[in-house]
Amino acid sequence: MMRLPKFDYRTPQTIAEAVKIIADAGPEGQFVAGGTDLYPNMKRRQQMPKTVISVMRLGELNQITGDGSRGLRIGTSVTLTEVCDDPIINRDYPVVARAARTISTPILRNMGTIGGNLLLDTRCNYYDQNYEWRKGINFCLKKDGDVCWVAPGSSKCWAVQSSDLVPVMVAIGAKLRFASTLGERVVDAAGLYNDDGIEYLRKRPDELLVSIDLPPTNGWRASYQKLRRRGSFDFPVLGVAAYIKLEGGVVIDAKVVLGGIAPSPVDIKEAASVLIGKSFNSDQIQAAAEAAYIKARPLDNTDFVYQWRKQMARQYTLRALKELAIEA
Ligand SMILES: Cc1cc2nc3c(=O)[nH]c(=O)nc-3n(C[C@H](O)[C@H](O)[C@H](O)COP(=O)(O)OP(=O)(O)OC[C@H]3O[C@@H](n4cnc5c(N)ncnc54)[C@H](O)[C@@H]3O)c2cc1C
Ligand code: SF4
């Protein structure tokens, strides 16, 4: 049985208290929400904070406010089950509820939060193993070792961004609000993710993710398609989020974002270029899917053969865009 290492557990009641505790704890401190990612990582000795600070009692982080006409603010401690069931999210942002419904299992969604999902650790077959297994291969670059077993000549870690909601948030242009003892800052979701499996977030460890702001739904639509082995429960090994805004049958804005194939979400700008300014028809959809296929370069470090996952980037982009075309 894998046991948690020893740590101090803190339960602040206000944001000011939470950011003060983590500032005082320094590099030994880490926030926890539902713990469905952090605690398994601690059991595998991949992350070893000495002070663990719960964000579940911070009132503001548990609220959902607004709607599609004004924009919606979701506190980061809102659980995935609450996201799946919320009537406003289902009415105005169905893509968010739908992507959340594909995450892990009902029990884990009761514990796991939307904030924890956006800050999920990157994943790799050589890393998501217990301590003894990793010791058996002399560890790897991401933790305790000095070689990447996926690309042995590489000085970079290629562990994969594996959250279902990240590509969706990037595609729809969500904004993320952080707090620390130095004040607040707001970043575009796209700006948070770094293409490096070790330094995968452009954020300081002492920054608390407070809320996610979804833009008003002024005519855009979005969809999400997920590839995984078991339909009932598995991380994505490819996720495609497609976003489209039409005016008089012409595409005036578009985004296709792939998750599950690289250390950060991959924005297929070439797909947007072939769609924007043209009518939303099957030729344009096919060309956008081809652009996703060309740009997708999955590596051999998750489930399924990577060449097949690359082929699926085309198929799943087609599915996502066709779904939007049918709605339109
Ligand atoms: C069996 C299994 C299957 C899973 N399947 C999927 C899947 O299909 N898709 C998927 O996307 N995920 C999956 N997950 C991962 C995980 O359950 C979810 O991503 C969940 O949303 C994580 O949320 P959490 O609140 O539990 O995060 P936690 O474990 O509490 O935290 C995750 C990270 O975020 C940080 N953090 C949390 N909240 C804050 C905050 N407010 N401010 C700053 N830092 C914060 C923590 O320090 C930690 O680094 C799975 C997990 C398991 C165990
Ligand atoms: S990609 Fe390489 S360095 Fe990163 S976790 Fe996998 S084996 Fe380790």
> What pLDDT digit, counting tens, does each position of 151-206 carry?
999 999 999 999 999 999 999 999 999 999 999 999 999 999 999 999 999 999 99
Answer whether 42 contacts ligand 2 (Cβ < 6 A). no
Q: What is the pLDDT of residue 296?
A: 97
Which H or E element spans position 242? strand 238-247
Residue 157 CA: nearest ligand 2 atom is 4
Question: Which 3 state secondary structure label does DSSP give 258?
Answer: strand
Q: Ligand 1, residues 36, 128, 180, 181: which to mutate, most atoms within 8 A of Cβ?
A: 36
CA Rg, the chain, in Å?
20
Residue 166 CA: nearest ligand 1 atom is 11
Q: What is the pLDDT of residue 232?
A: 84
Q: What is the pLDDT of residue 233?
A: 87
| Nearest ligand to residue 180 Cα | 1
Q: Ligand 2, residues 149, 160, 200, 299: which to mutate, most atoms within 8 A of Cβ?
A: 149
Q: Ligand 2, residues 144, 146, 158, 196: which to mutate, most atoms within 8 A of Cβ?
A: 158
| Nearest ligand to residue 134 Cα | 2
Torsion of the alpha carbons at 89, 218, 185 and 259, rounded to the nearest 10: 70
Residue type at 158? W
Q: What is the pLDDT of residue 327?
A: 79
Residue 147 CA: nearest ligand 2 atom is 3
- How far apart CA 153 and CA 148 sit, in angstroms, is 7
Q: How many CB atoms lie within 10 A of CB 305?
A: 10
Neighbouring residues of 212: CB distance < 8 A, sequence distance ≥ 6: 73, 74, 76, 114, 115, 118, 169, 174, 175, 176, 177, 189
For ligand 1, residues with CB inside 6 Å are 30-38, 40, 55, 76, 80, 103-104, 108, 111-113, 115-117, 119-120, 163-164, 208-209, 234-235
The Å distance, Cα 45 to ligand 1 centre, comes to 16
Q: What is the DSSP letter of 120?
A: P
Q: Ligand 1, residues 117, 224, 234, 238: which to mutate, most atoms within 8 A of Cβ?
A: 117
Residue 122 CA: nearest ligand 2 atom is 5
CB 89 within 8 A of CB 64: yes
pLDDT along the chain (328 residues), means of 10: 95 98 97 98 97 97 98 98 98 98 97 98 97 97 96 95 98 98 98 98 97 96 96 94 95 98 98 97 97 96 95 98 90
Q: What is the pLDDT of residue 1?
A: 82
CB 272 within 8 A of CB 255: yes
- How far apart CA 193 and CA 184 sit, in angstroms, is 18
pTM of the model: 0.97
Neighbouring residues of 207: CB distance < 8 A, sequence distance ≥ 6: 178, 179, 180, 185
